Structure 1
């Protein structure tokens, strides 16, 4: 396999393909990230707009509560988004305006989401945290596989170099050809 006359040309083509894969992965990841951010913002805005209280069994409301608890966030951009949701009146029923209890930090067991106790609430929005999480996922899906191919290409390069030394096209002082042949196991024989 490594003894082909055209091995260097083939290797260069493989490196070129790897470079193209990396560039296209980066472009695709960026495009999907932009689209994902737009979709995520509209979906989250819709879910937060339809939220109807902590004790609701509606799937959208429970999803909002789960996201806010797990990501330790509150609202889409930040906690003040709950004051802008005019269609929902659950947060204005008490004397003080409030946010869902899922915005409360766990260490405060008596937190009821009241805005005059901001130290008990998560203040960062959920959109940014979800975007950061999704960027890591895209990085893993698109870019990491191309980096995993690099050791394979490095091994091929080493194999080609060893064969060149063994064949005598590159002088190496102090190394016997039998030692070099053992380094390249892809051919299975010495020259």
Structure 2
């Protein structure tokens, strides 16, 4: 092998080794700061609920819409509980049947896909936001736990993808 080609291969090997070391370091840092990241993310989301959440299923406000979609998709309510919405300054709780106790997106729907695809809201019980129960709502199921469980159930796939990426770096 020519000296120039040998130098290129050596540089490539060193570069690949550095990438692997950085990937391992990133995984280690993420694992060691998991608690702090969780607290910071929850705090950020609660602050956004307090300042931005509108509590209307027909909203165009990005954070409200995103949270409603997450609540419908994961069939949950609030970050830690439905009480997370108690300080929302943008949510007008007054509706046709009185004062809402939970946002409409926390209610069980006849067809959640219709909401996720077309924002078509049709709860199993129209009285749900005013008188939520375990039967007509997800008020007792926090979203943080639901999303965490969803990710944990797919951890094998996530690890498999990470391992594939790591191995493919050496086989190229």
TM-score (norm 1): 0.51
- Structure 1 residue 68: deviation in Å? 0.4
Asked if 1 retains the 8 angstrom alpha-carbon contact of 2:98 and 2:130, the reply is no
Q: Does 1:73 align with 2:89?
A: no
Q: Secondary structure at the match of 2:82?
A: coil
Q: Specify the alignment match of 2:49 in structure 1.
A: 48
Figure out how many residues of one structure are paired with residues of the other and give that number: 129
TM-score (norm 2): 0.56
Q: Out of 116, 140, 146, which is 1:129 matched to?
A: 146
Asked if 2 retains the 8 angstrom alpha-carbon contact of 1:92 and 1:98, the reply is no
Q: Out of 134, 138, 163, which is 1:145 matched to?
A: 163
Separation in 2 of the partners of 1:42 and 1:134? 20
Q: Any gaps of 5 or more consecutive residues in structure 1? A: 1-19, 150-191
Q: Specify the alignment match of 1:175 in structure 2.
A: none
- Structure 1 residue 125: deviation in Å? 1.0
Separation in 2 of the partners of 1:97 and 1:79? 12
Which is higher, the Rg of structure 1 or of structure 2? 1
Q: Specify the alignment match of 1:120 in structure 2.
A: 136
Q: Specify the alignment match of 2:40 in structure 1.
A: 39
- Structure 1 residue 33: deviation in Å? 2.7
- Counterparts in 2 of 1:85 and 1:61: CA distance versus 1, 3 Å: same
Q: Any gaps of 5 or more consecutive residues in structure 2? A: 1-20, 111-122, 168-172
